[in-house]
Each structure stands twice: as C-alpha cells, then as structure tokens.
Amino acid sequence: MTVPLRCPVRGCGHALHHAGTSQACAIGHAFDVARSGYVNLLQPQDRKSKTPGDTAAAVAARRRIVERGIEGNIVGEIAAFAAQVTPATAGFLLDAGCGEGSVTMALTVATGLEAVGVDIATAAVDRAARRYPGAAWIVANADREMPFPDGTFAMVASVVARRNPAEFARVLGPDGVCLVVVPGEDDLAELREALLGAAAGRDRGTAVEAEFAVGYELIGRRTIRDRVRLDREALDDVLASTYRGARGAQRDRAAALTSMEVTLCREALAVRRRSG
C-alpha cells in the first residue's frame, strides 16, 4: 500500500502522484523526494522559522536514548496498549510528531498497520527515513491541515507531541482510533526536583480526556511507569531531548549530577472517533 497524499499548496488539494523523483499534482505543483526517501510538504505559511521543530542535536540525543534502551520498557508497554485498541480493519497508522521514527515503528509492528510518520523537523524525518526505509516519512505541520485525504487512517498516534483533535478526526476513518501519550505526573520527578527544587507535576491525562471530549469517546487509559538509572551522558541526552528546564542557574545543578535513578511515566489514552 502507498499512503494517499494531497497537494499542500493553499487552494489546491489535488492528489499527489509519483513522477520520477518527485510527488506532483495535476496542476503541476511538484515536491522532490529526498535521497533518504522522505518528501517535504511543509509550506512557508505552516512554519514560524526556517528550521522549525527539534534541532539536529536534539534529534541525535533522542536517538542515543533509543539506542541505550532507556525507554525500551515504556515504549513496549505503549505498543502493547496500541495493539489492544487497534481497529479490526487493515490500514495506515499515522504518527503525528514522529521524531526519529523508533516509536512509529514499534507501534506499526504491534498493530500490523502501515506506518506513516509526520514531523515538522526535517532533521528528524531525514533520520527516520534513513533508519526505517519501509515506512512513509513526510515533513509537514501536524498542527495545521495535513496533506492527507479525509478518512485515510485507521489510527493516529500522538506520542509526547502536539495534538490537533479536529484534524485527527478529519484524517481518521469511521471508528478510527486516536492514541495519545503524554508525560505522567511523576515523569522525571527526581530530575525536576534536583534542578528546580520541586517535582510538582500536572495531570495531563485528564486534560487530554477533556480535549478529546467532542467527537471522540474514551475507550481506554493506562498509566505506564518504569525506573531507570541514568549516567552522566544519559542525563545530558534526556535534558537535551525531553526537558527544557535546564537554563541559567539550573545548568550548574545539572552539571553537578553524575548519575541518578529516575522515574519514567506516561499516560496513554485511546479515544475512538464517533461516527456520524
């Protein structure tokens, strides 16, 4: 299967088709397919800078976390939860905010759906395409209107990424499922306490339930938790890729850390699109 794409040029929306090394629509808008295999459909009006999204350094740090297996148990449990809520019909899985692609592939293996990853960061999508050539990788802004026809996907996943319930509903098929994963209240609590002096967290899961109350029904929720020890290099990568608090005076505190046992926690929610 090949995921259907539509032209992202404002006012167009025609179907895109392979044309040599490009994706092109009937009107003549064309988008080159990169040598690594992804296609960049991000339009100027859909970005706020020339290089939006995660930096190449943050993407590399994220990849090192994957290679160290730091979140292996967490990702495995998320994938198992996804498998339980996957619709019975075959189809595509969209990972909106796919990053370097490892979670996308874990989800597609667990669900049996065809993988499609979208991210606004070219560095992330390029790395995903090089590492996992069997999936479809697209640079686009999942916060805006995405370059897919209505009803394309059996499942849309947002794993510690931004969410757009209305747009997710548009691209989901009838009874399609949206998987949303957010940090739990005690995620990295020990690290936050060491840097900020407090570990207070937020109940993001309940906020997600409220966010998806219109047009969806909740079909499952799970708290996933693990404990891992991070050495100095791993702490640096976690700070670079997932935690934005190490600024100013907090940098000195971070530099003093040599190793630490931390809690990893995710709230995973599954909501089904209501038909009609």
What DSSP string runs through 144-163?
S--SS-TT-EEEEEEESS--
Distance, in Å, from the CA atom of 25 to the CA atom of 13, rounded to the nearest integer, reads 9
pLDDT of residue 252: 73
Phi and psi dihedrals of 23, rounded to 5?
Answer: -110, 125
CB 104 within 8 A of CB 78: no
Question: What does R_g of the chain's alpha carbons equal in angstroms?
Answer: 19
CB 176 within 8 A of CB 87: yes
- At 181 the three-state DSSP class reads strand
pLDDT of residue 88: 86
pLDDT of residue 169: 96
State the fold for domain 36-273.
Answer: Rossmann fold (3.40.50)
Please give the order of strands across the beta sheet that includes 92-96: 39-40, 136-139, 114-119, 92-96, 153-159, 172-183, 259-273, 216-231
Find tokens 């960049």 and name the residue.
40
| Paired sense of beta strands 39-40 and 92-96, if any | unpaired
List, in order, residues 6 or more apart from 114 with CB less than 8 Å away: 1, 3, 91, 92, 93, 108, 135, 136
pLDDT of residue 250: 67
* pTM, rounded to two decimals: 0.93
pLDDT of residue 245: 45
CB 127 within 8 A of CB 82: no
Mean pLDDT (10-residue bins), the chain, 276 residues: 91 92 95 96 78 86 95 98 92 97 98 97 96 95 92 97 96 95 94 81 92 96 97 91 58 81 97 83
In sequence order, which ranges of the chain are alpha helices (DSSP H)? 56-68, 72-85, 102-111, 122-131, 165-171, 189-196, 204-211, 232-242, 249-256
List, in order, residues 6 or more apart from 88 with CB less than 8 Å away: none
